[in-house]
Amino acid sequence: KNEVEQSPQNLTAQEGEFITINCSYSVGISALHWLQQHPGGGIVSLFMLSSGKKKHGRLIATINIQEKHSSLHITASHPRDSAVYICAVKSSGDKLTFGTGTRLAVRP
Amino acid sequence: DAGVTQSPTHLIKTRGQQVTLRCSPKSGHDTVSWYQQALGQGPQFIFQYYEEEERQRGNFPDRFSGHQFPNYSSELNVNALLLGDSALYLCASSSHTEAFFGQGTRLTVV
pLDDT in tens, B5-30: 999 999 999 999 999 999 999 998 88
Using the beta-carbon criterion (under 8 Å), do B103 and A41 form an inter-chain contact? yes
Find the farthest-apart pair of alpha carbons in chain B and give their distance in angstroms, rounded. 40
Strands (E), B1-110: 5-7, 10-13, 19-24, 31-37, 44-50, 53-57, 64-68, 74-78, 87-94, 99-101, 105-109
B2: pLDDT strictly greater than 80: no
pLDDT of residue A1: 67
| Structure confidence by residue, pLDDT tens digits, B87-104 | 999 999 987 777 889 999
Candidates A44, A86, A95; nearest CB to B42: A86
d(CA B24, CA B32): 9
What distance lies between CA B62 and its chain's CA centroid? 14
CA distance A100 to chain B (A): 4
B83, with CB counted inside 10 A (0-12, 13-18, 19+), is exposed
Q: How far apart are CA A50 and CA A34, in angstroms?
A: 12
Residues B51-98 pLDDT 10s:
999 998 999 999 999 999 999 999 999 999 999 999 999 999 987 777
Report the chain B residue with the minimal C-alpha distance to residue A34.
Answer: B99
pLDDT confidence of A106, banded at 50, 70, 90? very high
- Chain A residue numbers with beta carbons less than 8 Å from the beta carbon of B60 are none
Mean pLDDT of A74-85: 96
Distance set, CA B53 to CA A97, B5, B48 (Å): 21, 20, 8
Q: Cβ of A99: how many Cβ atoms within 10 Å?
A: 25
Q: Which residues of B touch A43 (CB under 8 A)?
A: 43, 90, 92, 101, 104
CB contact under 8 Å between B55 and A93, yes or no, is yes
Asked if pLDDT for residue B1 goes beyond 70, the answer is: no
Chain A residues within 8 angstroms (CB to CB) of chain B: 4, 33, 35, 40-45, 48, 86, 88, 92-101
Q: What pLDDT score was predicted for residue A35? A: 94
Q: Which residues pair with A107 in a beta bridge?
A: A14
Is residue A82 within 8 A of residue A105, CB to CB? The reply is: yes
Distance CA B87, CA A58 (A): 32
Asked if A45 and B101 come within 8 Å (Cβ–Cβ), the reply is yes
Q: CA-nearest residue of chain A to B39?
A: A41
- Most A CBs within 10 A among B23, B37, B51, hence the mutation to make, goes to B37
